[in-house]
Amino acid sequence: MSDSKNISIKDVAKHANVSTATVSHVINGTRFVSEETKRKVHQAMDDLNYRINSVARSLRSRKSHVIAFLAPILASETSNYFFMSVAAGIQSVLKQHRYHLVLSDSHEEEEYETDEIRMLGSQMIDGLIMAPSSRGLDYERLFGDYPVVYLDRVPSDSERDCVVVDNKTVSKEAVQTLIGKGHKRIAYISGPNTLTTTEERFAGYLEALSEAGLEAASELISMGEVSLNSGYKLAETLMVHEPTAIFVSDNVMAMGVMFYLQEKQIHVPGQVAVVAYDEFQWTRITSPPLTVIEQPAFELGVKAAEVMLDRIDNADAPVQEHRLNAKLIVRQSI
């Protein structure tokens, strides 16, 4: 069943009466080989059931064809499906270029994150796409000699390619829509304001209010841990101050908010309107269906992967920043 000895390019060469160079060139199509010889080589490869050793190839060619994606993606509790969609986008383009994707979970914690970066080492990946969990950390110190593309979030002093979402514009639009419907007491729920994304969303919220001549009431603004429970709790404490609308800047927290409102039989949008971040299938089956901000998650991944491949091909090209637009999907919750 399994050949005890691994058969290599040498065995193939011998079996086909050619040199290893020729075999290699046949495999990679990297120089002209006569049809006749090609045939012999392919025959030999079939006969011996040859499989290329990509590790040896990587060592010699200094390319692993592996891209790592580091984000808070797998943690089971706070499962943020957003990054899974991103991963799907990344994979879709990597696959076309015969690259592999290795997933690392940062748990949204600096320690896990640095640990993962260290584990990735230097030569095992050709590039790193990451959603940094912190803005302040000196990531550069940790990176190996591979290109890095920041996704969704960007550390403060980054000189790297990045692809992000235009959070401010869409958040502003969402809040303006609420204002347009007559809401004046619009609450804001989000995770800790430590990420660029969160900050931008908040900025959009504030700007919409101020442009409408409304004041941002501090008792209507609450930030906490990103989790269903936390969303539940924050909704609970917020409702005491009688908002007529809630803007939730995170989809996991949004579940918590909806959980609370439903449990307490608070009518949406009658008693309180809700608009939340992220369009996922579940947002369509709450009652009522949620008004959401749809981030181009898949496209974010696609773009990041493309930028990464560009960067690999051309290390000296100017740094790119891509800002993708998000979309407000209005449903019955407002």
For binding to DNA (CB under 7 A), which residues are involved? 6, 8-10, 17-25, 27-28, 30-34, 36-37, 50-53, 56-57, 59-62, 123
To the nearest whole angstrom, how small is the minimum distance from the Cβ of residue 17 to DNA? 6
Residues 179-198 interacting with a second copy (rule: CB under 8 A): none
From the CB of residue 113, how many other CB atoms can be counted at a distance below 10 Å?
25
Closest to a second copy by CB, 2 vs 34, is 2
Gap between the Cα atoms of 334 and 328, Å rounded: 12
To the nearest whole angstrom, how small is the minimum distance from the Cβ of residue 34 to a second copy? 27
The alpha-carbon radius of gyration of the chain (Å, integer) is: 26
Give the residue carrying structure tokens 């160079």.
Answer: 21
Residues in Cβ contact with 230 at an 8 Å cutoff, skipping those fewer than 6 apart:
224, 253, 256
Residues 56-95 interacting with a second copy (rule: CB under 8 A): 56, 58-59, 64, 66, 73-76, 79, 81, 84-85, 87-89, 91, 95
124 binds, among DNA, a second copy, none (CB under 5 to 8 A by kind): a second copy
Between the alpha carbon of residue 88 and those of residues 29, 95, 144, 299, the distances in Å are 30, 10, 25, 9
Closest to DNA by CB, 19 vs 332, is 19
To the nearest whole angstrom, how small is the minimum distance from the Cβ of residue 210 to DNA? 56
Residues in Cβ contact with 101 at an 8 Å cutoff, skipping those fewer than 6 apart:
66, 67, 68, 69, 87, 90, 91, 94
Residues 283-312 interacting with a second copy (rule: CB under 8 A): 284-287, 298
Closest to a second copy by CB, 56 vs 317, is 56
Between the alpha carbon of residue 188 and those of residues 118, 201, 202, 239, 244, the distances in Å are 37, 10, 8, 11, 11
To the nearest whole angstrom, how small is the minimum distance from the Cβ of residue 168 to a second copy? 26
**The token pair that represents 185 in the structure block:** 């007491």
- Binding string to a second copy for residues 28 to 57, with x set by CB under 8 A, is what? -----------------------xxxxxx-
Residues in Cβ contact with 240 at an 8 Å cutoff, skipping those fewer than 6 apart:
none
Closest to DNA by CB, 23 vs 73, is 23
To the nearest whole angstrom, how small is the minimum distance from the Cβ of residue 178 to a second copy? 21
- How would you class 226 by CB atoms within 10 Å of its CB: exposed for 0-12, middle for 13-18, buried for 19 or more? buried
Binding site for a second copy (CB under 8 A): 2-3, 6, 51-56, 58-59, 64, 66, 73-76, 79, 81, 84-85, 87-89, 91, 95, 98, 100-105, 119-124, 144-145, 228, 252, 255, 258-259, 262, 280-282, 284-287, 298
